[in-house]
Structure 1
Amino acid sequence: MSESEQAMANRPPSVAHLFLERVEATPDRKAYGYPVPSAGEGPDDWRSYTWAEAGTRVFAIAAGLMDLGVRPEERVAIASSTRVDWVLTDLGIMCAGAATTTVYPQTNEDETAFILADSGSRVLVAENAEQLAKVRERRAELPELKHVVVIEGDDAVAAEGDPEGWVLSLAELAERGARFLEEKPDAVRDTVSALRPDQLATLIYTSGTTGRPKGVRLRQDTWSYMGCGIEQIDMMLPEDTQYLWLPLAHVFGKVLLAGHIKVGHVLAVDGRVDKIIENLPVVSPTIMCGVPRIFERVYNGVAAKAKAGGAVKHRIFTWAADVAKEYAKVSQDTRRRTGRASVPPALATKHRIADKLVYAKIRAAFGDNMIGCVSGSAALTPELGYFFTGAGVPILEGYGLTESAAASFVNRRDANRVGTVGKALPGLEVRIAEDGEVLLRGPGIMDGYHGREDLTAEVLTEDGWFHTGDIGELSDDGYLTITDRKKDLFKTSVGKYVAPTEIEGRFKVICPLASSMLVIGAGRKFCSALIALDEPALMAWAKENDVPGDYAEVIADKRTVAMVDGYIEQLNASLQRWQSVKSFRLLPRELDIEHGELTPSLKLKRPVVEGEYQHLIDEMYPTT
């Protein structure tokens, strides 16, 4: 057994164990950075916790929960945006031996109540008055919910009808915990020591594209396995500064917390998406994780800015983008064949020129220290991957599901292969079924869906193989390529199979104004598409081209339709005849989470969009 295999086999039973080990090993090192918004218009003040300071806070929260009567494996929910308080509360829950139930802050009142009731959560940690209000009116439906702890203390205000002590602030909880520890100083350490690998640690409700969400049961051992696996593949390094803005209610964000604790690097936490561009130069991270939509917006934003700068700047950017892609492709190909990345001298010269003109500015926007990014949650278009790699900000694509604790596969820093999702984490087994479906087995796989043995049996075999629902191919040297969701593949009426997400991804790279695309064609003679455009990019284009009106008016203008039609022609030139988009309609607004068209992780809810815009689909397929 190798040293790395031995380390994985001897991993601690829980991430709480990993946390205690980390605090003891590097107490004075910086652990977390977090912003404190300024009172005026000035920049935010960034502050930090050392590991020792974080440990004190986590122990107080854990002990406070114990004082409220929370016991091992009982559920404590968190409904909050991404912030350092979320991280410390989650660790407090796990150090109390309890299990975290994650709730997106955007989740509506009805679904929040469903998740809290279905999980049997005894405590809710709510970010503010808005999250508190969601459960206050539904309290009668939540008899097991004994307390609501509010992070923003000024919002922890009891209302008429609230039971005594039902609402308290996070600060008050920590104060209770400190008093509890004065009487029982070993309570938290004893609880952590007693944790078993098979105990419930987390319930993450999949937002799903249809129906009620399902609670995915993840064990204590799942997170220690993920933390150790991330360390083994050098996904993060001790000297890194990682910028974390991803929603922590999502498994992608959650798994990064386990990796951070095991590796011990600095984690800068701020979930305000509108602050990313402002924060990057301040934080100056070496690594950041994101979803494809963020990288698409960066690329389209740079392209649009170049175009607005005039014909010369646009030609320079287009040339530089082509050079970046060629440089990355040639480098990757030579590394695969010879073990060493290299390019011809002429291409190297063009790349140096393009770097000075274009790539250096892109890296500066990322904070100048960015070694690379990790992309997950949805497929990244290879052309985008080649562009950013060639520009010096490689995007390491990974793959996983909530049911597999997110980090099942990921590309390595020194062996990135664009177009794939990388190699499996150590200890994970993978095989491809006869129909192409990816099957997984290992410590990161869920125990099942909470209270739904029927649904569990549909995806999890008795011998532990999880059916992912994704179609993929595995190379001889272990790189996985995901081609589509099994349920999203459709067959046209002429018998041809179409993978819609591949087409949609290509279009979003070709069209800098694209926000979302939904390809339709199941049982039809040809493929069509519903297209939503990015509002800021569209309005900038409209101003440049003298197209008057608001978003809806610009969308309806014939010049806008003609512009998009030009990009559709470019798309079709890269597709097989049966894949080509013969007709399209522009949507009157962008798709979003609030209208239920996107999941909180920005996945398209196809049935919802198709149902909402059925009249436009009917226009593209007239019956006569």
Structure 2
Amino acid sequence: MPSTQTSVASQTDNLTIPVLLRRNATEFADKPALTSLDAEGTPTLTWGQLREEVASVAAGFADLGLRAGQRLIIMAPSRPEHLIADLAATNIAAIPCTAYSTLSSEQIAYVVNHSAAPIAVLAGREELDRWLPVLDQLPNLEHVVVLDPVELPEGDDRFLTFAALRERGAARHAREPREFEQATDEIKPDDPLSMIYTSGTTGVPKGVVLSHRNAIHEALAVHSLHDNQMHLSNIAYLPLAHIAERELSIYLPIVYAGHVHTLADAKDLVPALGRVRPDVLFGVPRVWEKMVAGLKNMLGGVPEERRTALLQANALLQEGYKLRSAGKEVPADLAQRIADTDETVLAPVRQLLGLDKLTLASSGAAALPVEVLYFIAGLGIEIQEVWGLSETTGAVTSNTANAFKAGTVGRPLADVEVRTGEDGELFVRGPIVFLGYLQEDGSIEPATDAEGWFATGDIGTIDADGFVTITDRKKELIITAGGKNIAPSRIEGLLKEHQLIGQAVAIGDGKPYVTALIVLDDEIAPAWAAARGIEDTDVAALAAHPDVRAEIDRAVEAANERLARAEQIKRYQLLTKAWTPESGELTPTLKLKRRVIAERYEPDIAALYD
């Protein structure tokens, strides 16, 4: 299915990220570019100031010996120095790569050795504790830059502070200012821009190499698709190793000269929304799910009259949203009631949440439960679901305010084609498809066929209007002992629609029936229990409480009512501890590591089939 969007390919012919950065520093020199939400009192950098910082750090990296084509590993949360270091490497044609901060020491050794990175940039103590045990196993690593000066290891000249790097580079840049400009001029659109290591749900991570053309085409296509204006604001709170955050907080803002607010800890997002009131907000499904669960929980403490008004307003907006999603016209009288209700009842709620200025809310990385989508639409915030991968520089498809179908991931971006294979696998072709995977010898091996198609590994369908629906990952489909093919993500999504269920995994490959492992939401469940007079609100205790068990039974029954007989959950086990990337059951992008879960909970799973 070819794209229905207007072509943007010709606009990328002479553009690179350094060229756009120079444009911003010239045309929008005094516009805000970068603000830290963590370091109070730190001044906002304008685009003119940001480029000067990037130039100094780029000269510092060059002084340490970083050369074009070499990789730079960064392990740090979202903070200004992270973005500056990333862009500094880009401006001397080196290839920055952000590593997830949850990597183990063993995984760090693999990534650094595979990339042959000569320089790493680390935030502080937490990162050093992971790196120091394997430092002597990294023969190519020559320098380690530490952002937090108090954590600098003593007695090892491989280490230096970020401030020292910047000072060293500023002196070089002052001596040779043309060096930076010349490097900018020499970079070409199809040169490597950055690298992302896949989160490794099925095995060893792969180094995905993206080009300037990839990132800029993606940014221009998304920008034009949603008819965005220049100078939008956003909050960078997800790991910059995540392709969505990298595109939304590095490349898109450079295209439209936006204002990025960095936030080191995603748990601080809710108060940050009120401070920033962003124009753009992206969330993985877990972010939106927790937002909805929290709002529903808060409603329990609202006076009944006010609660009734809010729920009625939510239902009214949902009614209009569902009609438009189905391609139907909203009757004039209903449209007027929606407009009046939105202004009087829901606009103050959005303002209270810091979501009143949103022009684009989006979700990706996994399927968003449709009930979550509907509830947030009932607040007057319509989330545009997208679908994409690291290998496609982010979004391949997207819904829009004027063309959407709830439950789908929209239609292809400009100049992008999507088709299905014989087994339902989705293939993508177009300017957003990556250069290839980094090999150990430093070469880049393309991953497309002779006609340019990339096999995504996702299973899906394309309807007559071109809207794509993702059903599951090809490698994750459950085939029961009876030969039924079942998509576990649908089952898991239905379970997670209940506010008490934080995580779930469907089991059943090679088994006679489907079962599930269920984890309580460690934030919502204690509040839910306390509101019902349950004294011990520890999650482990709640997992055994009869009232909680009865509520989870109802949640499973509700899910089963919407599933085919072969998909229905026959038995489940309620677990006592949340899954996290740190505990190993989730990837850094919060996807299930099914193999790890299957091995770790083998006795529990076996008991479900006794």
State the TM-score bracket (shorter-chain normalisation).
over 0.9
2:447 is the counterpart of 1:435: no
* Closer/same/farther in 2, CA of residues 229 and 12 from structure 1, 3 Å limit: farther
Which residue in 2 is equivalent to 1:329?
Answer: 322
Alpha-carbon contact 1:317-1:358 (below 8 Å) kept: yes
Alpha-carbon contact 1:28-1:50 (below 8 Å) kept: yes
2:282 is the counterpart of 1:286: no
Counterpart mapping for 1:539-554 below 5 A: 539-549=526-536, 550-554=538-542
Alpha-carbon contact 2:145-2:161 (below 8 Å) kept: yes
Correspondence for 1:106 among 73, 80, 102: 102
Out of 103-112 and 470-479, give the one that drifted further. 470-479
Correspondence for 2:556 among 556, 568, 573: 568
Which residue in 1 is equivalent to 2:154?
Answer: 159
Alpha-carbon contact 1:430-1:441 (below 8 Å) kept: yes
Which residue in 2 is equivalent to 1:197?
Answer: 189
Which residue in 2 is equivalent to 1:32?
Answer: 34
Alpha-carbon contact 1:374-1:398 (below 8 Å) kept: yes
Correspondence for 1:513 among 500, 503, 512: 500
Correspondence for 2:214 among 222, 225, 250: 222
In structure 2, what residue type is equivalent to 1:131? Answer: E
Which residue in 1 is equivalent to 2:244?
Answer: 252
* Closer/same/farther in 2, CA of residues 253 and 350 from structure 1, 3 Å limit: closer
Which residue in 1 is equivalent to 2:74?
Answer: 78
* Closer/same/farther in 2, CA of residues 152 and 391 from structure 1, 3 Å limit: same
Alpha-carbon contact 1:31-1:264 (below 8 Å) kept: yes
Identity %: 30
In structure 2, what residue type is equivalent to 1:175? Answer: E
Counterpart mapping for 1:40-439 below 5 A: 44-45=40-41, 47-155=43-151, 157-160=152-155, 162=156, 164=157, 166-234=158-226, 236-256=228-248, 257-309=250-302, 318-333=311-326, 336=327, 342-343=330-331, 345-346=333-334, 349=337, 352-353=340-341, 356-357=344-345, 360-439=348-427
Cα deviation code 1:345-378 (max 9, x no counterpart) = 2575377447744564245213422233111111
Query: Following TM superposition, by how much is the alpha carbon of 1:90 offset from its aligned partner in structure 2, in angstroms?
Result: 0.8
Correspondence for 2:594 among 590, 606, 613: 606
Distance 2:313 2:23 in 1: 47
DSSP-derived class of the 1:65 partner: helix
Distance 1:317 1:481 in 2: 31
DSSP-derived class of the 2:293 partner: helix
Query: Following TM superposition, by how much is the alpha carbon of 1:294 offset from its aligned partner in structure 2, in angstroms?
Result: 0.6
* Closer/same/farther in 2, CA of residues 543 and 604 from structure 1, 3 Å limit: same
Which residue in 2 is equivalent to 1:40?
Answer: none
Higher RCO structure (Cα 8 Å, ≥6 apart): 2
Query: Following TM superposition, by how much is the alpha carbon of 1:197 offset from its aligned partner in structure 2, in angstroms?
Result: 3.2
Distance 1:562 1:527 in 2: 20
Alpha-carbon contact 2:505-2:516 (below 8 Å) kept: yes
Q: Give TM-score, length-normalised by structure 2.
A: 0.93
Distance 2:73 2:148 in 1: 16
DSSP-derived class of the 1:585 partner: strand
Query: Following TM superposition, by how much is the alpha carbon of 1:134 offset from its aligned partner in structure 2, in angstroms?
Result: 2.8
DSSP-derived class of the 1:487 partner: helix
Query: Following TM superposition, by how much is the alpha carbon of 1:457 offset from its aligned partner in structure 2, in angstroms?
Result: 8.3
* Closer/same/farther in 2, CA of residues 6 and 420 from structure 1, 3 Å limit: closer
Query: Following TM superposition, by how much is the alpha carbon of 1:580 offset from its aligned partner in structure 2, in angstroms?
Result: 1.5
Gaps of 5+ in 1: 38-43
Which residue in 2 is equivalent to 1:583?
Answer: 571
Query: Following TM superposition, by how much is the alpha carbon of 1:285 offset from its aligned partner in structure 2, in angstroms?
Result: 1.1
Out of 56-65 and 515-524, give the one that drifted further. 515-524
Query: Following TM superposition, by how much is the alpha carbon of 1:8 offset from its aligned partner in structure 2, in angstroms?
Result: 3.3
* Closer/same/farther in 2, CA of residues 386 and 554 from structure 1, 3 Å limit: closer
Query: Following TM superposition, by how much is the alpha carbon of 1:104 offset from its aligned partner in structure 2, in angstroms?
Result: 1.2
DSSP-derived class of the 1:524 partner: coil
Cα deviation code 1:514-570 (max 9, x no counterpart) = 110111122223211111011121112222333343221211122211111011111
Cα deviation code 1:252-281 (max 9, x no counterpart) = 111112111011122222132121111111
Alpha-carbon contact 1:236-1:260 (below 8 Å) kept: no
DSSP-derived class of the 2:395 partner: coil
Distance 2:310 2:296 in 1: 7
Query: Following TM superposition, by how much is the alpha carbon of 1:138 offset from its aligned partner in structure 2, in angstroms?
Result: 2.1
Alpha-carbon contact 2:9-2:415 (below 8 Å) kept: no
Which residue in 2 is equivalent to 1:524?
Answer: 511
Query: Following TM superposition, by how much is the alpha carbon of 1:198 offset from its aligned partner in structure 2, in angstroms?
Result: 3.5
Distance 1:506 1:410 in 2: 22
Cα deviation code 1:298-334 (max 9, x no counterpart) = 111111122344776666555444333222111333x
Which residue in 1 is equivalent to 2:603?
Answer: 615
Alpha-carbon contact 2:8-2:221 (below 8 Å) kept: no
Alpha-carbon contact 1:411-1:423 (below 8 Å) kept: yes
Alpha-carbon contact 1:548-1:554 (below 8 Å) kept: no
Alpha-carbon contact 1:11-1:225 (below 8 Å) kept: no
* Closer/same/farther in 2, CA of residues 319 and 573 from structure 1, 3 Å limit: farther
Please provide the CA RMSD for this pair.
Answer: 2.6
Alpha-carbon contact 1:533-1:590 (below 8 Å) kept: yes
Alpha-carbon contact 2:8-2:217 (below 8 Å) kept: no
Distance 1:32 1:446 in 2: 27
Distance 1:267 1:366 in 2: 16
Which residue in 2 is equivalent to 1:470?
Answer: 458
Alpha-carbon contact 2:500-2:524 (below 8 Å) kept: yes
* Closer/same/farther in 2, CA of residues 585 and 363 from structure 1, 3 Å limit: farther
2:21 is the counterpart of 1:19: yes
Out of 480-489 and 527-536, give the one that drifted further. 480-489
Which residue in 2 is equivalent to 1:41?
Answer: none
* Closer/same/farther in 2, CA of residues 308 and 517 from structure 1, 3 Å limit: farther
DSSP-derived class of the 1:268 partner: strand
Cα deviation code 1:490-532 (max 9, x no counterpart) = 22223332211112112212x1111101111222232111110
Distance 2:90 2:517 in 1: 44
Out of 379-388 and 458-467, give the one that drifted further. 458-467
Alpha-carbon contact 1:471-1:485 (below 8 Å) kept: yes
DSSP-derived class of the 2:391 partner: helix
Query: Following TM superposition, by how much is the alpha carbon of 1:46 offset from its aligned partner in structure 2, in angstroms?
Result: 6.6
DSSP-derived class of the 1:592 partner: coil
2:445 is the counterpart of 1:450: no
Alpha-carbon contact 2:115-2:440 (below 8 Å) kept: no
Distance 1:113 1:573 in 2: 48
DSSP-derived class of the 1:377 partner: coil
Alpha-carbon contact 2:146-2:159 (below 8 Å) kept: yes
Q: Give TM-score, length-normalised by structure 1.
A: 0.91
Cα deviation code 1:201-228 (max 9, x no counterpart) = 2221111113321111222332232233
